[in-house]
Amino acid sequence: MNSKGFWDDQFCIVTGAASGIGLATSKLLSSNGATVLGLDISENAGSNGKVFAENNNLYRKCDLSVPEEIEKVFAEFKNSKLAALFNVAGLPTNGLGIEETSVSDWDRIINVNLRAVFLTSKYSLPLFKNNGGGAIVNVSSVHAYSTMKNHAAYAASKGGMNSLTTELAIELNPQSIRVVGVAPGAIRTPMTTTDLERDAQLLNSLGFPTDGKSIGHVGEPEEIARILTWCASPEASFITGTTIQADGGLLSRLGYEKGN
């Protein structure tokens, strides 16, 4: 089955939609004819709000660390036919080591990055049933495979997401719902660059070249958005229960350097 024209009039939900990969995914889906419900903790989509003012798109403020807010949003759209759920939202560890990480810090990262994926998947099921099936695409991270110090909560949340993706694929297969993960490498988003204003110099010193050519270079949100939408389309109909690494070769380079 070809995905040409597939997104026309399809209803999709994207978390973390106000910026970065979530915004890029929302834009791409909308440009291909889908109606997008964007969820984010921001009061509105800010300067990017025009994306959610076009093509019948919608936007709701939703704190993904609060289960009741997630349940309320999905209940509002319980009669909709959901084609795809994109779990993009995530919180970083902000460089805190275990000794500096409080219980509240740990819980908030785990709750947004992992528990929220469980809840959005759970509450989306009636909407998928209305559609006769669909796809859930979870944005993981290379940190689930090879991480660095001071990223304990983030790495744990993404490792858990990979396992949850596999389990959900098995559990939801009878309902014709595919579940796929995508693990990006370093992507130029607000989450990764807020504390990296010296951008090129600092990123290169950390081992993430910004030249757009080197193995493991910093990618753009639009590159990941194209992969996410493909994973949810009929062209990826034989893919479920796995997490695809979309890292510009970062993990392969790390593996090579560790071995040398």
- What does the pLDDT read at residue 145? 79
Q: With the C-alpha atoms ordered 217, 222, 225, 227, is the resulting torsion angle positive or negative?
A: negative
Q: With the C-alpha atoms ordered 47, 223, 80, 241, is the resulting torsion angle positive or negative?
A: negative
pLDDT digits (tens, 9 = 90+) for 152-184: 999 999 999 999 999 999 999 999 999 999 998
Q: According to the CATH classification, is domain 11-258 in 3.40.50.720?
A: yes
CA–CA separation, 169 and 229 (whole Å): 17
- What does the pLDDT read at residue 39? 97
Q: Which of these, 137, 121, 232, lies nearest to 172 by C-alpha position? A: 121
DSSP letters along the chain, please?
---TTTTTT-EEEEESTTSHHHHHHHHHHHHTT-EEEEEESSSS-GGGGGGGGSTT-EEEE--TT-HHHHHHHHHHTTTS-EEEEEE------TT--TTT--HHHHHHHHIIIIIHHHHHHHHHHHHHHHHT-EEEEEE--GGGTS--TT-HHHHHHHHHHHHHHHHHHHHHGGGTEEEEEEEE-SB-SHHHHTT-TTHHHHHHHTT---SSSSTT--B-HHHHHHHHHHHTSGGGTT--S-EEEESTTHHHHHHHHHT-
pLDDT digits (tens, 9 = 90+) for 92-133: 887 788 999 999 999 999 999 999 999 999 999 999 999 999
Q: How many CA atoms lie within 13 A of 30 on its CB side?
A: 23
Active-site residue, 145 included: no
Question: Whole-structure pTM over 0.85, yes or no?
Answer: yes
- What does the pLDDT read at residue 38? 96
The one catalytic residue among 59, 123, 154, 256:
154
Say if residues 90 and 116 touch (Cβ distance below 8 Å): no
Residues of the chain where predicted confidence (pLDDT) is lower than 70 = 1-4, 46-49, 187, 189-218, 250, 253-260
Say if residues 21 and 185 touch (Cβ distance below 8 Å): no
- What does the pLDDT read at residue 52? 85
